[in-house]
Amino acid sequence: MTLQNKKIVLGITGGIAAYKCPEIVRRLKDHGADVRVVMTNGSKEFITPLTLQAVSGNPVSDSLLDPAAEASMGHIELAKWADLIIIAPATANTIAAINAGMANDLLTTICLATAAPIAIAPAMNQQMYHAPVTQQNIASLEQRGLHIWGPGSGEQACGDVGKGRMIEALDIVDRTVDFFSPKAPKFKLLITAGPTREAIDPVRYISNHSSGKMGYAIAKAAQAMGAQVTLVSGPVSLATPSNVNRIDVVSAKQMHQQTLAQAPTHDIFIACAAVADYRPSDVANQKIKKNDDDMTVTMVKNPDILADVAALTKARPFCVGFAAETQDVETYARGKLQRKKLDLIAANNVSVAGQGFNSDDNALTLYWNNGKLDLPLASKEMLAKQLVVEILKHYNKHA
């Protein structure tokens, strides 16, 4: 049961290879997967929803505007439910729609709304497959982190011979099993996340509004892309992402100690935590009583975790910083990039409502020495995937 407890959405589009899908579903279930089928209108011309419902044991979803399903926002529910989305067969039309970010049916809407990895099994006439626009669409999807499974070569239903056949059902199942199987990490990522707490006395501390959601989303996305991830986390109310090594800390000094110990054994370091710049110079042993109208707390500077990692002379990882600003975002971000000798920095304006601290959404602008890139407002999970892809591009150039 190599796929035990794995949740897979199988998207079926309008190609003759749709006849192979009941076998895909059956074999995935044999491996222990829970499979939900989503069909386009075109796919129902080749195979019936009743057949897929019978083999999957679950209702088939086929309409974006189904009142029963949409009462619970069915398309969003499936997008969040999936551990993996497989589109097989994937027609040239569906590939183009996904690449363009369209959401004109249930399947493309799920693809746009999900943070789960997506695998596409192309199936089309060989001339359609080799058309420059199709090749551009496939290359674009692959660059954005989607998995392209196939196509195969051989005789096609139209009589042509060439590349464009969907790979066989068992091949898709084998690739799915391999996708979830433990592998040697492609890269090692160290990331800090969440706030720090700087004690004043045994019951009071100084902290900030960071929820840790962005850092945890990055850790999850990187792990899904094949990374071995170490997450050094301040106090948050978040579950540890699957297969991520989490190290809990409270104060900035503790985070500094753990991060510096881990950094030399990792390829990439992302400083996503909202670390307190200052801490009280003296921590009272007992609770400070409310005796006076005023209270003075003397603060001292905390160690600069990101600058110290970036200053390593041996085994220095590729260093990515975060800049949470409320004004003059580019000026402050570029200043931090140069001052701390970083490779890349991700900046966001936390004064904008609906993004940043304690929000489920965010928007980032990436800066490096000779360029910038805007990553527009999206869920933190979706944004994390885009960010990891961009970091890997710069890391591979650097390496």
Contact 149, 165 (CB under 8 A): no
Count of Cβ atoms closer than 10 Å to residue 289 Cβ: 8
The 8 Å CB, 24+ separation contacts for 287-293 are 287/201, 287/202, 287/203, 287/204, 288/200, 288/201, 288/204
Cα 237 to chain centroid, rounded: 19
Hunting for tokens 């890269």 — which residue is that?
187
* Collapsed DSSP state (helix, strand, coil) of residue 206: strand
Closest CA to 231 of 272, 190, 187, 276: 190
Q: Check: CB of residue 38 under 8 Å from CB of residue 78.
A: yes
- In terms of Cα–Cα distance, which of 41, 77, 83, 38 is closest to 56? 38
Interatomic CA distance for residues 44 and 41, integer angstroms = 5
Q: Could you count the other beta carbons within 10 Å of the beta carbon of residue 28?
A: 25
Listed in sequence order, the residues at least 6 apart from 157 whose beta carbon sits closer than 8 Å to its beta carbon are: 16
Radius of gyration of the chain (CA): 24
Q: Determine the length of the chain.
A: 399
Q: In terms of C-beta density within 10 A (0-12 exposed, 13-18 middle, 19 or more buried), how is residue 353 classed?
A: exposed
- Report, as residue numbers or ranges, the catalytic residues: 158
- Gap between the Cα atoms of 59 and 203, Å rounded: 53
